[in-house]
Amino acid sequence: MSRKLVVLTAGLSQPSSTRLLADQLAAAVTAAVGGRGESLEVEVIELRELAGDLATTMTTGLPTPAVAAAREKVTDADGLIAVTPVFTASYSGLFKMFVDVLDTESLSGMPVLIAATAGTARHSLVLDHAMRPLFGYLRAVVVPTGVFAATEDFGSTGLTERVHRAAAELAQLIVAEPAAVQGFLQDEPVRHRSSGNRVGAVRPFSELLAGHTGDGR
């Protein structure tokens, strides 16, 4: 059976340490899923390439075709790797912009591996103080091991061990993720995910207003 993995990387430079870490994690997850007898299709989304589209989407409220396509890929995935550089002790603004344009139901029940890069190890708490709560709010299932890499960590045994441990945790959840054909089983939990791209799902403003005031006034 083939599974889908989406990798979000918010590095700004090219090449970037953020993309390097993302590629290492994707390769480790691919190997771990393969070791469980299944194949993995990996789709990388470079948020740097969506910067202009994200700004347009945020200011107009209407997703550009590129943003809409990225949202569909995320929603349809069986697992997600999210990697961001650290700015001012938190995830980057570009990373947060993309998360902000996702539908609140897009990651419900989805296995997620969080990771971050920075120039110094002093920013390592970003995983538990910023990223884990963010994905917890979106009701994603975040694997226990987060991966933080400072500049001096690349090439170290410690980073390699963390990458493979986190990858094994994500692979286990991806393989356990119910496939579409299994949805009819009575004992399988149904996870409703929405990309937010369907125009028909948008409620009229009058209905939204009525929901807040209670009487439509």
What pLDDT is attached to residue 25? 98
Q: What distances in angstroms separate CA 4 from CA 75, 98, 193, one per listed residue?
A: 10, 20, 15
Q: Which residue has the tokens 């286990």?
A: 172
The pLDDT of residue 86 is 96
Query: What local confidence, expressed as pLDDT, does residue 137 receive?
Result: 96
- Nearest-10 Cα torsion for 55, 59, 61, 62: -50
Q: Is there a contact between 108 and 138 (Cβ–Cβ < 8 Å)?
A: yes
Q: What is the pLDDT of residue 15?
A: 87
DSSP β-bridge partners for residue 79: 5
pLDDT in tens, the chain (217 residues): 789 999 999 999 888 999 999 999 999 999 999 999 999 999 999 999 999 999 999 999 999 999 999 999 999 999 999 999 999 889 999 999 999 999 999 999 999 999 999 999 889 999 999 999 999 999 999 999 999 999 999 999 999 999 999 999 999 999 997 754 444 444 444 466 666 776 444 444 444 345 444 444 4
Both structure tokens of 203: 């409620």
* Global pTM value: 0.84
| pLDDT at site 197 | 73
pLDDT of residue 202: 41
